[in-house]
Amino acid sequence: MSRTVQGARVFHWPIRVYWEDTDAGGIVFYANYLKFFERARTEWLRSLGLGQHKLREECGGMFVVVETHVKYHRPARLDDELVVTAHLSEMGQASMTILQQVLSKNERAPASPAELLCTGSIRIGWVDATTLKPAKIPKNILEVVKQ
């Protein structure tokens, strides 16, 4: 059973669009937003003291993605400067859901509001590092993440 998390902090991470991220449509290839979301989640966890090595070595496991739901509103383009957010929205014993957005910082009109390009709801589950089987999220992680 998972419960909604109220008032969780919103984490922000800047990302620049390079050639590698685009496709022949002239825009960011849609699968690559999952990469942008993951970079922001990784940095969000690191900002909480939960780097990849710590998770694996001290907590004995890692998070794996079990479900993604992404909506594409407007395209990002080569060289765009984006901000990707991460924000805990639901929390269960073995998984949690992070809401994420990709926003465009308009460099040519910095005073104008950021445009929403893409939204994602990413559910990640905890697995044992050795068996890769689902397991309960360790308590010390739960406590840190909820803050």
Q: Which residues pair with 3 in a beta bridge?
A: 91
Segment contacting a second copy by CB under 8 A, of 2-10, 31-39, 90-98, 133-141: 31-39
In whole angstroms, what is the distance from residue 73 CA to residue 4 CA?
A: 25
Query: Using the rule CB under 8 A, which residue among 32, 91, 99, 115 binds a second copy?
Result: 32
List the catalytic residue out of 23, 79, 80, 128.
Answer: 23
User: Taking CB under 8 A as the criterion, which residues in 63-82 touch a second copy?
Assistant: 64-72, 75, 77-79
Backbone angles phi, psi at 78, to 5 degrees: -45, 130
Give Cα separations from 91 to 80, 126, 142 (angstroms): 33, 12, 9
Calculated CA dihedral for residues 16, 20, 36, 103, nearest 10 degrees? 50
Cβ closer to a second copy: 23 or 146? Answer: 23
Q: Which of 123, 61, 47, 62 is nearest to 92 (CA)?
A: 123
Is 57 near a second copy (CB under 8 A)?
no
**Rounded least distance, CB 52 to a second copy, Å:** 4
Q: Is 21 a catalytic residue?
A: no
Q: Which residues bind a second copy (CB under 8 A)?
A: 16, 18-20, 22-27, 29-32, 34-35, 38-39, 42, 51-53, 62, 64-72, 75, 77-79, 132
Show which residues are catalytic: 23
